[in-house]
Amino acid sequence: MTMILSMGVKEMADENAIIKGMPAVETLGSMTVICSDKTGTLTKNEMTVQAVVTEELPLVKEIMNNCQELKTRDEQKIETIHGNPTELALLKYIAKEEQQLKPVVAKIPFSSSYKYMATMHADGEAQVIFVKGAPEVLLKKAADLTNEEKANWEKQGLDLASKGQRVLGFGYKQVSSAELTHDSLTGLTFVGLAGIIDPPKESAVRAVEQAQQAGISVKMITGDHKATAQAISEQIGLKHTSIILEGTDIDEMSDEELAEAVGVVDVYARTTPEHKLRIVTALQKQEEVVGMTGDGVNDAPALKQADIGIAMGIKGSEVSKQAADMVLADDNFYTIVKAVKEGRRIFDNLQKTINFFLPTALAQGLIVILAMLMNQPLPLTPIQILWVNMVTTITLSYAIGFEQASRDTMTRPPRDTKRGILSGYSFFRIVYVSLLIMIPAYFLSMRFEGSALQQTILLQSIVLGQAVYMINCRETFDPAINRRFFENKFLFISLGILFVLQLGVVFLPLGQQLIGTTALNLVQQLLILGNALLLFLIVELEKRISKEIFKRKEKTAIRYQND
């Protein structure tokens, strides 16, 4: 089981999903909700200024040029500047302008808590404050605007946001004091708006669709305007986009009210890291298995709280990576969906391995118990039992770990975390398969005389029965021999190695001496093969019958719910 988990972790790393702990692999397969950032995860993070609404364009461009943290020297070329995508988009918009940077006297960096950035610059004998940020925040701080003018700015901002554009407002203020504080930002002159577009990734649209097909709800949590969030959510295909919760709405809700709301809301706008934490906690109260993406230092509590914390490998902070269970090396939402598929595949293979291993182990034990009850000598010597366990079981079960994902891996709902790895059906399979391996093998061996011959026939029967049953275990309910049968090359490598080793044990003098076996004739080999084929056919027939029974139960349950 450890090897199967380790192989899965390596497969995920090859797909740019770096897992920090093996238990997270199983949790991925059970995830029911993915909460994701918008910018850079669902969108391309390639921002471009699409529209500017202002009557004072030169002044807006001057604010764009100075109220930022990326460009520090006039001679810097735009091609050499990297960093915040929003500021980079603004600098690209004014790249052809020959504007000089004003000396920075003081600065208030941007924060999602107050949603703006401000810089103070020397302006002759006085100072000027440039501010950019959320339009609704700047409008509240603006002076000398009538209600009609504010409403007009709000309408124009809403028009930009409804097109999926991120909207920034710009303002300034002349001051005589050299002190820059939040309190000093009242009485701003509001001068304009800019609409910046960051289109959705095509891969994100595809990933959202696949996640929803797999029964996983996708929720978008962003700091953008409500209208922008709604437009983008519709473009990427989220389900519940008519109702949008903003950070202010969440602040007014109790934990119980939020827990009720998260089930029918997929879009959250104007949020902070604290809101992320509350949303994750609310979803978990509804018994959801939550995956949360994050990249900032303040996202760490939400990443820790989530069942699967997912950090961005490119733009993510070291703190967020330390807090996360998984790191996306490519910052791509589609990688999460691929990791979910891999997690489900690994868990399926673990179940198949257990369903293979336990019946064969139980069969060996039952053979010993049956011999004791019938007052017969032990049918296998300790070294023969060791041979079966150390060579055949480990070799064959290892091969199942390489099985590819089933066709329904991403069309069935997430696994219920309350269900154990062994179901009632698994116990049924364990018991009847162990009897099918044990009873024919034991009574076939008893038909011949000589302890060495009996032990060899019994040993060969168990080994061949295990090999055949391993093929049965490739598919839980579907036919074992299908189009994907030849995709797992390790299956044939394992069978080949086992075949060679078993030939050596039965027919080579050294193997016979070490294990205590003797050569078998053609008739004896055919009888053993017949028992193995009977086992294979019975299990395949049982799988088909069980599949039909489970289908009928599922249809009955759905009909009962609808009624």
Please give the DSSP secondary-structure letter assigned to residue 393: I
**Phi/psi class of residue 124: alpha, beta or left (left: φ > 0; alpha: ψ in -120 to 50)?**
left
The Cα angle at residue 157 between residues 155 and 162, in degrees rounded to 5: 95
The Cα angle at residue 235 between residues 115 and 195, in degrees rounded to 5: 40
Find out whether 338 and 43 touch, Cβ atoms under 8 Å: no
Strands 326-328 and 308-312: parallel
CA pair distance 36, 303, nearest whole angstrom: 11
Strands 165-175 and 189-197: antiparallel
Residue in 14, 37, 183, 563 annotated catalytic = 37
Helices (H) then strands (E): counts for the chain: 21, 14
Q: Which two tokens stand for residue 105?
A: 């006297």
Helix (H) or strand (E) run with residue 294 in it = strand 290-294
Kindly write down the DSSP assignment for every residue of 458-527, as one continuous string: HHHHHHHHHHHHHHHTTSSSS-SSSGGGGT-HHHHHHHHHHHHHHHHHHHSHHHHHHHT-----HHHHHH
CA pair distance 2, 40, nearest whole angstrom: 34
The Cα angle at residue 193 between residues 188 and 194, in degrees rounded to 5: 135
Q: Is 37 a catalytic residue?
A: yes
Q: Which two tokens stand for residue 380?
A: 């296998």
Axis-axis angle for helices 23-30, 2-14 (nearest 10)? 70
Bridge partner residues of 311 (DSSP):
294, 327
Residue type, 332: N
Catalytic residue numbers? 37
